[in-house]
A and B are shown apart, each in its own frame.
Chain A
Amino acid sequence: MDPTQATREVFWNIQYTWLVYVLMVPTLAVFGWGFWLKIRRWRAGQPAVRFDRPGERLRLFLRNAIGQGRTIKRRYAGVFHSLVYTGFIVLFLATTVVAIHHDTPLHIMKGHFYLIFQSLIVDIFGLFVLVGVALAAIRRWISKPKLLVYTDEASWILVTIFVMALTGFMIEGWRIAVTDDPWAHWSPIGNLFALGSDPWMTDTAMQRGHVIIWWFHLVVAFGWIAWVPFSKMSHIFTAPLNIFTANLDGYGGSLKTIDFETAERFGINHLGDFTWKDLLDFDACTECGRCTDVCPANTVGKSLSPRDIILDLQALMHKQGDQFLAGSNGSNGDGNGATLPVIDEKTAMAPEALFSCTTCAACMEACPVHIEQMPKIVDARRFLVMEEADFPEGMMDMMNSLESRQHPFAGTQFNRVDWTEGLDIDVMADMDDPAEAEVLMWVGCGGALVERNRNTVRATAKLLKKAGVKFAILGREESCSGDPARRVGNEFLFEMLAKGNVETLSRYGVRKVVTSCPHCFNSFKNEYPHFGGSYEVYHHTQFLDQLLAEGRLDRARSATVNGGRTITFHDPCYLGRHNGEYDAPRNLLAHLGGTRQVEMQRSGNQSFCCGGGGGMAFVDEPPDQRVNQERAQEAVDTGADVVAVGCPFCATMLDDGVNARRGDRDVRVKDVAELLWDEVGTP
């Protein structure tokens, strides 16, 4: 037998093969129609620029769509999805090979290629599909984790794929058996079926069975293909597209800006107000539930569920169909009732849920297909806040204070310069030449006005002084960066504060900003450029890390202050996930003599929010649903003596949490700068 002549007969044992082509027409028509409906809906959305920077997009696409970078982060799901995914790709290629071989003059399905790829590899990957689907079925039907959505559709998807793979092997096996295929051992699984059937089935029975199962296989496969655009399997196409068009600017820059001069409505309460990318997001969801699984609000038992937000919006979009198109096409949405409101007490988009989001972006980081849940929550909050003036009381007080006092802490007993007492710190307004200050130390409301954080900003200032950095503060001229207003949904207030701050900074010609508040940091870095304020922005841990590296802060003289302590670092969402800085604070902690660093179970980009972002620091949470306590417990469980933080909000939230959860152990919450000063500053 000459392996270079190896091949098999396409359509062996099959008559009326023309019927295949006839059936293919409606199949592809329905498939195309389904996707055309989707595309038409997306196109009704507002504009968004998501095809720029093709190089970066391609890289992201290769990593997370083709390479499944995020999907494989969950081990079990990652394994079975990879099995099915790679199986599908190989089986699709194999089908293409058959088509080329049979329908074009290129008879490629022969020889070693036939044996190695078309027989052996295809068999193995077919087995992958079977095993993958079986693993998925075990999860869905037996272990039943909470994160999944239990729909009939999802079950049918597993059943149909399994049936397709299984019948594929059956027809292969019977062909091998009946034709006594000399290359049978190259198709191990099919051969297994052949060997299994041989003893108890006659050739005629197998041949007849082959015909029946062959057509059955074809009908199921064609039906399945036609069904794809109408089921969550459409993610085969929508997910890669969604990843290619993902937001490339990091979560910190993911909120939309509003042009208040022209906007007909502030925020979103109608599908037509979403961008086409938002609408694509709804269709790209795979129902994997990872976003809800990692959501801090959901974890502590609140009703917020980013997965259900996306799925409910998807359902709304599908339900509204052409009505929604009519209500929004080309215009900014007319709000005349042609479209149903997206904020709805009865769905996941209930105001109560929307107002429990901490904007931590854990959902976005977890989503394998790069859906942007959090900005949609903020979009809806904007509508509630700016159009309806409807929001929780604590947020109301915070915003009132921002409006009249330019800081969110109503009732604080401190002013913006109290903390400088005895430190001799330059205030820009009092300097003869403010340009002498190389760096603006942006203190932040949380640093200057909250008692427990004043020590942090003092430590930061002392470290800067010690390193000989020429810096100044704005003192009373500093206003809130606007972050709390923006996350709560009051974009208008944010814009006023931002513009005011940019103006002040321009007046003093500020170019470099150091701040110990990651929220201010994020606003300066990602949001102020929109208002004409572009600065070199550092979080204090980044700046101090740089000073240490440059040798401007000498290493501790006494290694005893923190000596023997175990420290765990809590990543602030707005430093870590939103801006990708995980190392600087850890580097600084590594400089503390005689200490040991331990990591919490959820850290780095998987870190769990302290519960204070998104304006939640100003809201009284129900005692049994406190995000800060959940996180504090995790910190305490590491056995650490010190929970290191890098954010004034984390500091207060975790202080409360740790005090509630530390039992009789002595566990302290301290900012990295405080710890560093304790050591570097000790004579």
Chain B
Amino acid sequence: MSPIIQGIITIIIGVGGCVGYFYFANLFLDKVLFPARGENAGRNINRANMIRPWVFLFPAMFALGLYLMYPVVGSFFRSLYDRSGDEFVGLGNYARLFNNPDFRQAFFNNILWALFVPAGATFLGLVIAQLTDRLRWGNIAKSLVFMPMAISFVGASLIWRFVYAQDGDIGIINAIRFYFGAEEGIDPLQIPFWNNFLLMIILIWIQTGFAMVILSAALRGIPEETIEAAIIDGANPFQVFFKIKVPQIMGTIVVVWTTITILVLKVFDIVYTMTGGNFGTEILPSFMMDFMFRDDGQATAVAFVIMLVVLPVMIWNIAQARKEMR
């Protein structure tokens, strides 16, 4: 069977199965379980309506439970056992982590990432969204800024390896240095501390498009009259932007910011591809990758630390997003 037909059949079975589930479950509830007939018709209708939401929600809850809750709980228990998984070590894995200078380095670097990437991407996204708002070629500019979103993290990293290349004929940083008279090329990715920021730039480059698209829509949602009123009140363009526009889309800015923060705490590809975590660029996700399959006890402990760090950001994010929707 050709893969195309296979794919089509899969789609039909999948979509048909979903539709079928809701249709027949509903039918079963109304006709068989609690039929709206006989002496208890009224009571049956009420009962059916009470159960219906749960019937409809069941597949989603089941799938989420199986693929989300179980791994979380499972990981937590795994992190309490040693590398082979045989011996219970309590919080031993966590103690070892916090005594490990590499982990502390990764933790510190990750804090830098979680601060600068969301800030950079949100700020640039907002500025670009505002600057391109009224331009005739604004949409073209926006498409260009958005395009990196479509590139995988590994692909993006490969592109930036050229930018950071030691060879002045390839890497723009060394090309500029040579232009100003430098004799020898350097590897920017080996400059301690600052190489972290060179890696962050890649993720900022990717995520700015996301921030821009969301914030651009938010900016357009601002009532035009409030801006005109501010202009009549004497506000200059900067004051209009910072005192009228930005406060009105603060909720959206927070959602964008936290969404990117959550992403930052998951992305290991860039570090993995660019430096392999060397030269002091390790972050938690790539640190976890180092242990994976060799010491799952430690790896799951890192995973759990990441989850604990993400959790508050996530809760805030969801709370903000819900407030926005209201």
State whether these chains interact: no
